[in-house]
Amino acid sequence: MKLDGLAAVVTGGASGLGEATVRMLAENGVKVTIFDVDEKRGTGLAREVGGQYAAVDVTDQDSIQRGFEQAGHGHGVARILVNCAGVAPVGRVVDKSGKPHDMHLFRKAIEINLIGTFNVLSEFASRLGSAELLGEERGVVVNTASVAAYDGQIGQCAYAASKGGIVALTLPAARDLSKHQIRVMTIAPGIFITPMLTGLPQAAQDSLGQQVPHPSRLGKPDEYSSLVKAIVENPMLNGEVIRLDGAIRMTPR
């Protein structure tokens, strides 16, 4: 699909990989609606790029529906969905004091990362299914997993399980939505410069970057967004997960 003139929704679009994606889409003539719980950052970014912001909690079905209604009212039917909303809780199966994992944290990771992704994807597809074809397709979904889905480290059980679920749903979702001519792809980023990482000391960030074989540094958010662009524009990319990681394979810790 050609980007110019289309409408898109980006969850978690107020910061990090989502923000980079919002900026890339807007620069290419896309009308972007930002779904996020951070109203201050979301409204500010929307104003900056000429898009719109919708206060959406991806774990709340009513919130998602209201968000899509707002998006459609302002920009028309969304043809592109990029799911970037997510959290990265840390917790061992059994902590150092012998206590079991906090199940609230585990459920939160699954609710936001996995169920939230599917919730938004399903609502997006239901609204797009009757739209006219643009050439040979109606739209495309790009989900965000993580290399933790494959190489989860100690303390990442909740995060890795949630991202592994996104990897697993990619192919069946693409097959399911093929009758509607909607593609589904997933990106599994490695270690990227996001708000989750920028809070670490610079020495720690440099150390993480040096673990990447090549290029030996942290990934840049615009490298994620450039892959989103390539996916949207290439109709044969469907039902697959692309690792975007500089060939890193995470160690146990």
Quickly tell me which residue has 């540094």 as its tokens.
217
Q: Where are the domains of the chain?
A: 7-194+222-241
pLDDT average, residue stretch 58-78: 97
Q: How much of the chain, in percent, has pLDDT values that exceed 70?
A: 98
pLDDT digits (tens, 9 = 90+) for 158-212: 999 999 999 999 999 999 999 999 999 999 999 999 887 776 678 777 878 899 9
Identify the pLDDT of residue 207: 79
Burial letters for 175-204: b for 16+ Cβ neighbours within 10 Å, e otherwise? eebeebbbbbbbbbbbbbbbeebeeeeeee
Identify the pLDDT of residue 33: 98
CATH code, 7-194+222-241: 3.40.50.720
Nearest to 158 by CA among 142, 170, 146: 146
Q: Is the pTM of this model over 0.85?
A: yes
User: Higher confidence at residue 195 or residue 84?
Assistant: 84
Residues annotated as part of the active site = 159
By CB atoms closer than 10 A (0-12, 13-18, 19+), residue 104 is exposed
- Cα distance between residue 58 and residue 159, in whole Å: 16
